[in-house]
Structure 1
Amino acid sequence: MEIVGIVVVCVLAVAGANQLAPRVRIAAPLLLVGFGVAVSYLPGVPPISVDPEIILIGVLPPLLYAAAVALPAMDFKRDFQAISGLSIVLVVISALLLGLFFMWILPDADYATGVALGAILSPTDAVATTTVKRVGAPQRLVTVLSGESLFNDASALVVLRAAIAAMATSVSLFGVAVSFAWAVVAAVVVGAAVGWVFIVARARISNAAVATAVSFTAPYIAYVPAEVMGASGLVAAVAAGLVTGRGSVRRLTAAHRQSDQQTWRTVELLLEGGVFLLMGLELKALVTDVRDSHETVWHAVWPAAIAFVLLIVIRWAFVMTLVAGISRRARRVIAREPMLAEMQDKLGDPDAAADRMTRRFQRSIDRRLADIEYYRTESMGFREGYVVVWAGMRGVVTLAAAQTLPADTPYRSLLILVAFVVATGSLMIQGTTLGAFIKWMKLPDQREAAAQERRRLNREMASISYEVLADPSVCGTDGLLARSVEQVRELEASDDDEFEGDVLDRRLRNAVEMRRVRRVIIDRQRAELIDLRDRGAYSSESLTVALARLDAEEISLDAQGSR
């Protein structure tokens, strides 16, 4: 009964923090950490310590999988340079440079131990994405920060694994590089295969709730074989999520997608909030362990403060270099626009092309031109770079990874407390100021451009509706729309009960026909939206909203048809 009470309190705390956060304008994770710290020091509350394997294996795979499903694959490909640089290269550089610092300040620690702690402090947390969305920052920033938080957890844990191995035995730099490459490549292959198999299998399940229940196993089925092969299970879970997110629109029904979205959003909310709450609850146990090892909290605070500053400086230097490289690449890509436009004019309409290879080549040109428009409107300049720097908050993975250090590691309790101070300090300092910092940067306001884009997309969807309603093969020769209007007028003008009943009967039959036609419209509109997504003609945000609207209409039609 005691465990049940604890679980109930934790769930209510997570729900309450997320409800309160928008009102007080403080991130929910920060509220949960503070609540956990306060509870841990209440009289009678024993020190709380959680096995890190529960977080690394039980919590992180589904969390990363859920985030990957929601990440638009089109935007991910466009910003692959930025995402891969931040989530892999920056993690490795941060771990190596911080390793030198910790080796210098800790007399009994070797370089491998320092790199291990550097890897622990390197990954950022996805909590920044919520703040960035709330203040209306450009979608490209949201994509980059989301993609970084997806992959840098896995890359940091791979570096940590290599550093721990180096602490025990002699490991060559070449061996570490090969292990890192294998951990990423093999995991991507395994995760992509699992994601594809699950999409195909779940498409054959008619019950949406059952299909969603099956999806709960996907991140673990991707995680386990990857770990057995010596690869990164977290990268495999992310790859499975990306494949699932891209394939669900084509293969799953609207009811399946809505069930997945609502259920996984709840799971993500509870898991992420619960882990931040545990971070706060563990503080008392960490402080006790440090005191038992004849050290003081101050011995953890000042190294953590310096490490926090170093992380900001390293991130600033890397991001500014990365932004300059992205800008140069964007200019080169934009310079090809006249040539691509000329080729497009010569080839004509891709849908009218008879040859399959010609159509594929034309669509490739369309995608490239859409990418050019994306790079022109969604710029990534130095102001955006400063936001990326300040949004690099540390979180739950830092503390969970710190607790995986071997028991015989020098200064183990102190290192774990350093990780806790850095994580909570970054949440407090950066988390409470990120919204104001984004506004201070005065990023370009793209709301009007986004509204215009949505209006253009709505007009395209409306034209498809008119084409279907005017199509004799779908609506008959006299036009379904005209028949519907005429019958409604007859019903309004009639005073005769018998005639009214006859009109109502015809109207009922016509309602069934209208639902059938509306399904045809939805199918054609969804096919067009998928084609526009593949060509990159519109932003992922506009396409996602339009697809969600179609899903809602389809579910409404299903409900009407069942009555």
Structure 2
Amino acid sequence: MHGVTTEVTLVVVVGILIIGAVATIANRIGVAAPLLLVVLGGAISLLPVTPQIEVPPEVFLTIILPPLLYTAALKVPAVDFRRNLRVIGYLSVILVAVSAVAVALVVQSIWPIVGFAGALALGAVVAPPDAVAATALGKRLGLPPRVVTILEGEGLINDATALVLLSTAVAAITRAGNSDVEAAPLVADFAIAVVVALVVGAAVGYATVRIRQYASDRAIDTAISLATPFLSFLAAEALQGSGIVAVVISGLVIGNRSQMRIRATRRAQEAATWGTFSVIVENGVFLTMGMQLPAVIEAVDAGERHLAGVVLVGLLLCLLLLIVRFASMPPLLLWLRAHAKRRRRDQQRLAQRLEQLGEGSKRAGKLQRLHDQRGHDIIALDDQKLGWRDMLAIGWAGMRGVVTVAAVQTLPADTPMRAELVLAAFVVAIVTLLVQGGSLAWLVKALHLTHDRTERRRQELDELLGETIEAGIDAMQREADLQGIDEALVEAAGERMRSRRAWAAHVAEVDPDDATTDVAQIARLRHLAVDAERFWLDQVRRTGRFDSSTVSVVQRIIDREEIGLQADEDEH
């Protein structure tokens, strides 16, 4: 037992070191780290001293995927997600379902022995693109923010859709060897799983934010953060819901609610923790894939199918997925343009209703807020209107990644032609990462998609930062009037806050050397101002009046101010 434990520990430690080294090298030479890790993992597996790696399927489903999706969900702005919900839903639900069925039909026609359930399981595995690499590259290349948001949102929800389909197909496989999937139970199971997951995910998310708001210790806060995705997953699964959907919803709720209720220092610590976890686990999946690849190839060779035939099926699926994805883009673009016209007409009708109601009534106040929100949405979406070039980029950014690699290994051991299905999924992941991922940067540059909005962003930042700072100064003034604090101290603190407009990126420091009572009062006033600024920014964020990236910049500035103040208090 001791020897096995030591061996496993050694493998994990060496794996982490390899991942760190390969990630560093990949960044320097401009090659995708997953591809290098697959190649290196295959080479390592051929060494005589390398132990055979067998990861139980439940490890991928319950330990690896939930925190990866949770980490991604924490970063998605709710306003942008809401504005692009139609596009995200189209790509992540309809397109994934169509892609999975298309793959299932092709695979069943080529390998009838697999049955429709097994073919649908493979379709669910290869249907969802992994947008992590696409969004990271898109941000570096300056892709339009709306395109990046769509890819981020798609990468979250499509994984959930695909894994619900996969679990349904796997259930059909394991039911007394039944390989048939009936449409009506499939739809019903899918609907129930999603509804339960929405409720559980939202409940866990709101409860977690409340609990962490009052957690008195950083270690406890970190422990709660680490437990959240697993708690959300297990609770939803226990209630016959989709654990993956619940995890995504919890991440969205916490990521957007925590900015108001959880200290900036703890959110920064949480981001660092999950960032490290994601890099290690996501790249570790590809390293494990490379180490398992020779065994999968050997199992295919030992069967009735030739290795070359299985690889050709994988290449055919790559082409099929690409065709289905591109074919879905024109209807999406036409639908969005038609909806934009309806949105403007609805906004005009809403304005007419406001005129009829007049001012002062409660109903008019609600309609006015809705009118303002829709107006901001229309301005933002018109400013980032999608065209055929954007659709080409979205269509090409359909690389398969860690979810495909991890999910295919959850297929039951008694699945017909399991080795062939696993290898086909591996081929899809490798080829799409190599071909589409390797050429996405070239395509973006060829389409001239990068938008230079520097001047507008600078103006937005100055305007939003000015409004937010004034909200904090007003709060300080009210507190000073109530408590009889010297007006000169309020003015000193206010001037220091206003100066952030000139050097916003370097705002977080306070003077740590002066511990007099006056400085303590200023620090308390500034704490009050930060709370007021966060409250104001949260209200502005909900209206969608400013671009989410602009809001995020101001949020970081406020966070740095809070972190600096907290560091001062800890030091003294």
Normalising by structure 1, what TM-score?
0.89
Query: CA deviation digits over 1:407-438, x for unaligned, max 9?
Result: 33332211111111111111111111111111
Partner of 2:184: 174
Partner of 2:314: 304
Partner of 2:371: 365
Partner of 1:491: none
C-alpha contact (below 8 Å) 2:354/2:367 kept by paired residues = no
Matches within 5 A, 1:425-504: 425-448=431-454, 449-464=456-471, 467=474, 473=481, 476=485, 478-480=487-489
Matches within 5 A, 1:547-558: 547-558=555-566
Matches within 5 A, 1:60-459: 60-125=65-130, 126-167=132-173, 168-169=177-178, 170-337=180-347, 357-448=363-454, 449-459=456-466
The reply to whether residue 533 of structure 1 matches residue 541 of structure 2 is yes
- Report the Cα distance in structure 2 between the residues aligned to 1:399 and 1:134, rounded to whole angstroms: 26
- Report the Cα distance in structure 1 between the residues aligned to 2:51 and 2:278, rounded to whole angstroms: 28
Partner of 2:506: none
AA aligned to 2:259 is: V
- Report the Cα distance in structure 1 between the residues aligned to 2:249 and 2:293, rounded to whole angstroms: 34
1:43 is displaced (CA, Å) by 4.8
- Report the Cα distance in structure 2 between the residues aligned to 1:484 and 1:282, rounded to whole angstroms: 61
Structure with bigger gyration radius: 1
Query: CA deviation digits over 1:301-325, x for unaligned, max 9?
Result: 1111111000000011113321221
1:292 is displaced (CA, Å) by 2.0
- Report the Cα distance in structure 1 between the residues aligned to 2:294 and 2:519, rounded to whole angstroms: 65
- Report the Cα distance in structure 2 between the residues aligned to 1:482 and 1:525, rounded to whole angstroms: 17
C-alpha contact (below 8 Å) 1:164/1:405 kept by paired residues = yes
AA aligned to 1:511 is: V
- Report the Cα distance in structure 2 between the residues aligned to 1:321 and 1:312, rounded to whole angstroms: 16
C-alpha contact (below 8 Å) 1:327/1:381 kept by paired residues = no
1:16 is displaced (CA, Å) by 2.4
Partner of 2:15: 10
Choose 49-58 or 102-111, whichever is displaced more. Answer: 102-111
1:330 is displaced (CA, Å) by 2.0
- Report the Cα distance in structure 2 between the residues aligned to 1:98 and 1:401, rounded to whole angstroms: 16
1:46 is displaced (CA, Å) by 4.7
- Report the Cα distance in structure 2 between the residues aligned to 1:233 and 1:6, rounded to whole angstroms: 29
1:531 is displaced (CA, Å) by 0.8
1:355 is displaced (CA, Å) by 6.0
- Report the Cα distance in structure 1 between the residues aligned to 2:453 and 2:93, rounded to whole angstroms: 32
- Supply the RMSD in Å over aligned alpha carbons: 2.7
Query: CA deviation digits over 1:450-481, x for unaligned, max 9?
Result: 23322222232344455457666278564336
1:341 is displaced (CA, Å) by 6.2
AA aligned to 1:212 is: T
CA 1:86 to 1:532, structure 2 compared with 1: closer, same or farther past 3 Å?
Answer: same
Normalising by structure 2, what TM-score?
0.88
CA 1:109 to 1:3, structure 2 compared with 1: closer, same or farther past 3 Å?
Answer: closer
The reply to whether residue 22 of structure 1 matches residue 27 of structure 2 is yes
Choose 246-255 or 338-347, whichever is displaced more. Answer: 338-347
C-alpha contact (below 8 Å) 2:209/2:254 kept by paired residues = yes
Number of residue pairs matched by the alignment: 541
C-alpha contact (below 8 Å) 1:519/1:554 kept by paired residues = yes
1:165 is displaced (CA, Å) by 3.7
Matched residue SS, 1:282? helix
- Report the Cα distance in structure 2 between the residues aligned to 1:371 and 1:5, rounded to whole angstroms: 53
Matched residue SS, 1:430? helix
C-alpha contact (below 8 Å) 1:384/1:443 kept by paired residues = yes
CA 1:541 to 1:39, structure 2 compared with 1: closer, same or farther past 3 Å?
Answer: same
Query: CA deviation digits over 1:220-247, x for unaligned, max 9?
Result: 1111122122221111111111111122
- Report the Cα distance in structure 2 between the residues aligned to 1:149 and 1:201, rounded to whole angstroms: 29
- Report the Cα distance in structure 2 between the residues aligned to 1:400 and 1:163, rounded to whole angstroms: 16
1:511 is displaced (CA, Å) by 1.5
Matched residue SS, 1:528? helix
C-alpha contact (below 8 Å) 1:76/1:143 kept by paired residues = yes
Partner of 2:503: none
AA aligned to 2:430 is: T
The reply to whether residue 515 of structure 1 matches residue 523 of structure 2 is yes
CA 1:286 to 1:554, structure 2 compared with 1: closer, same or farther past 3 Å?
Answer: same
Choose 124-133 or 414-423, whichever is displaced more. Answer: 124-133
CA 1:344 to 1:275, structure 2 compared with 1: closer, same or farther past 3 Å?
Answer: farther
Choose 53-62 or 128-137, whichever is displaced more. Answer: 128-137
Matched residue SS, 2:275? helix
CA 1:113 to 1:344, structure 2 compared with 1: closer, same or farther past 3 Å?
Answer: same
1:18 is displaced (CA, Å) by 3.0
Choose 268-277 or 56-65, whichever is displaced more. Answer: 268-277
AA aligned to 2:300 is: V
- Report the Cα distance in structure 2 between the residues aligned to 1:356 and 1:555, rounded to whole angstroms: 40
1:337 is displaced (CA, Å) by 5.0
Q: Unpaired runs of 5+ in structure 1? A: 487-504
AA aligned to 1:57 is: T
AA aligned to 1:554 is: E
AA aligned to 1:310 is: L
Matched residue SS, 2:72? helix
CA 1:327 to 1:176, structure 2 compared with 1: closer, same or farther past 3 Å?
Answer: same
C-alpha contact (below 8 Å) 1:112/1:164 kept by paired residues = yes
Q: Unpaired runs of 5+ in structure 2? A: 1-5, 496-512
1:263 is displaced (CA, Å) by 1.4
Choose 354-363 or 227-236, whichever is displaced more. Answer: 354-363
1:182 is displaced (CA, Å) by 0.8
- Report the Cα distance in structure 1 between the residues aligned to 2:516 and 2:223, rounded to whole angstroms: 37
CA 1:228 to 1:10, structure 2 compared with 1: closer, same or farther past 3 Å?
Answer: same
Partner of 1:494: none
1:371 is displaced (CA, Å) by 0.4
AA aligned to 2:78 is: A
Query: CA deviation digits over 1:365-417, x for unaligned, max 9?
Result: 21111100111112222211111111111112223322333333332211111
- Report the Cα distance in structure 2 between the residues aligned to 1:245 and 1:357, rounded to whole angstroms: 31
AA aligned to 1:557 is: L
1:340 is displaced (CA, Å) by 5.5
1:338 is displaced (CA, Å) by 5.2
